[in-house]
Amino acid sequence: MKALFSALVVITSLLIAGCATTTSNNNQSSTICTESRIAPTEQEIASLFDRWNQSLQTGDPQKVVSNYAERSILLPTGSNKPRLTPAEKVDYFQHFLEDQPVGEINMRQIQVDCNIAVDSGLYTFDFAKTGDKVKARYSFTYRWDGKQWLIISHHSSAMPEK
């Protein structure tokens, strides 16, 4: 009885927060959100990397930074300095884009919830200007701002083993 009560408290808390997670017969969970909350599909979240990667191809750091929320953090592979402001992110991408990077996802796991999603895994960057390839781990955390999905946290680190 105590376990049932605890489960009801958790479910009620989730519903009050505007979201609930249900499990179907095939053990896959799905998120149910209220009208004011958005539950994206994994495919929608995967396309956000494509949007970000395409903005790299423009060579314009402002277009890349437009993928990030005003209040967000970038922990890049090529710098020890966390980038918090849009100006700091533009500064990083000005240098990063000089070598004409193109990213490719090698492996990913996407988790979605109401108004937030995480895409993490492994990617490789090919740099057209230098011919270098960099394999790295990544995580993008996205939040729905009422109009679009924006990055609120982006961490990237080179793979330790070469």
117 and 97 co-located in one domain = yes
pTM flag (> 0.85)? no
Q: Which pLDDT score, from 0 to 100, does residue 23 have?
A: 39
9 and 70 co-located in one domain = no
20 and 61 co-located in one domain = no
29 and 100 co-located in one domain = no
64 and 95 co-located in one domain = yes
Q: Which residues, in sequence order, are bridge partners of residue 49? A: none
3-state SS, 24-50, equals CCCCCEEEEECCCCCCCCHHHHHHHHH
Q: Which pLDDT score, from 0 to 100, does residue 36 have?
A: 62
* Domain containing residue 15: 2-33
Given a contact cutoff of 8 angstroms between Cβ atoms, the answer to whether 75 and 68 are in contact is: no
114 and 144 co-located in one domain = yes
106 and 130 co-located in one domain = yes
Looking at the structure of the chain, the number of domains it has is 2
**Would you place residue 25 in the very low, low, confident or very high pLDDT band (cuts 50, 70, 90)?**
very low
98 and 136 co-located in one domain = yes
How far from chain centre, in Å, is Cα 135? 18
| pLDDT, tens digit, 9 for 90 and up, residues 43-80 | 999 999 999 999 999 999 999 999 999 999 999 998 99
Given a contact cutoff of 8 angstroms between Cβ atoms, the answer to whether 108 and 90 are in contact is: no
| pLDDT, tens digit, 9 for 90 and up, residues 122-158 | 999 999 999 999 999 999 999 999 999 999 999 999 9
Amino acid identity for residue 104 in this structure? E
| 160 has a pLDDT exceeding 60 | yes
User: Where residue 47 sits, what CATH number does that domain have?
Assistant: 3.10.450.50
